[in-house]
Structure 1
Amino acid sequence: MTQSQIPIESPTEGPTEGPSESPTESPTESPTESQEQTPPEFRRVTTAVVTGSAAGVPYHVDVRSGAHHLTADEPVRRGGSDSGPEPFALLISALGSCTAITLRMYAERKGWPLADVKVRLGYETNGQSGRISRRVTLGGELDQAQRARLLDICERTPVTLALRAGVAIDTTEEH
């Protein structure tokens, strides 16, 4: 996550999401209903390679993202060896990490005395749908307006927005 990904808005505007006009329009023109807007092009943000094998530990997988090496597995109660976090733990860890980093960046840019951030998360399911609970603890000599603003920023972190919007997943086989 880069600092440019932190949503910035004035008190009367919503989160910024980049240019709203298509590349062929000037900023002062608005498209008519008959004109089609060109959707923004996708750019790669990050990559990961996950490798698992039927030999050895049943559900253990190695995760490589850049220079970083992680492990994921299933708990013993589901046939794994619990050698690493389960996949949903990694998902909510991504949300919590993004939340804490974004809040630190935002407070730093504003010059606010945010000393530390703790994000406690849980994933629950009823078998058909799921939900995530997120509890944020803000340390430091923040006033009520700053605390309220930081909690509002939690709703605009990049991973929060991606999870809420849903993310298209395109699957192909590589040979």
Structure 2
Amino acid sequence: MVKVHKAADGKLKQTIEVGGNTFVADAPVAAGGDGAGPEPHDLLDAALGACTALTITMVARRKQMPLEDVRVEVTREEAGGLYKLFRRIELVGALDATQREYLLGIANKCPIHKALTGRFEISTELFN
């Protein structure tokens, strides 16, 4: 479960609690926030990047591939109601071409990639 509430400080800053971890999100100064943390779109993009790196790393370890690091960059464009993500992946290590191609394919199997390319349904209700 993820819990989000207004932070004690800041104009729009939100405290996020998940899995025993606490961090913040905020709006940029230009949008009325303090820029004290990533904005929600950045968190969404970061989820894809982190999931990609974790999934590739776990598969490479399981297959005992000589992967030393995975570096992922995610950028986005928004236009005409389309939210488009661009993902660049760097595989660091003494991998051969077959291993590199295999791990690149694994990127599309990360759970966040699957969620973002699938269908979403969001149910909303008030509680208190």
Fold shared by both chains (TM-score > 0.5): yes
Aligned partners of 1:98, 1:128: CA distance in 2, in Å?
A: 25
Instruction: Report the equivalent of 1:141.
Output: 94
Tell me which amino acid in the other structure corresponds to 1:165: G
CA RMSD of aligned residues (A): 1.3
**3-state secondary structure, aligned to 1:115:** strand
Instruction: Report the equivalent of 2:4.
Output: 50
Q: Which of 47, 56, 60 in structure 2 is aligned with 1:94?
A: 47
**3-state secondary structure, aligned to 2:56:** helix
| Structure 1 residues without counterparts, runs of 5 or longer | 1-46
Instruction: Map 1:155-174 onto structure 2 (within 5 A).
Output: 155-174=108-127
Q: Which of 29, 34, 41 in structure 2 is aligned with 1:81?
A: 34
Q: CA deviation at 1:69?
A: 0.3
| Structure 2 residues without counterparts, runs of 5 or longer | none
Aligned partners of 1:73, 1:171: CA distance in 2, in Å?
A: 22
Aligned identity (percent) is 38
Rg larger for: 1
The 8 Å contact of residues 50 and 63 in structure 1, kept in 2 or not, is answered as yes
* Structure (1 or 2) with the greater helix fraction: 2
Aligned partners of 1:127, 1:134: CA distance in 2, in Å?
A: 20
* Structure (1 or 2) with the greater strand fraction: 2
Q: Which of 59, 78, 88 in structure 2 is aligned with 1:125?
A: 78
Aligned residue pairs: how many? 128
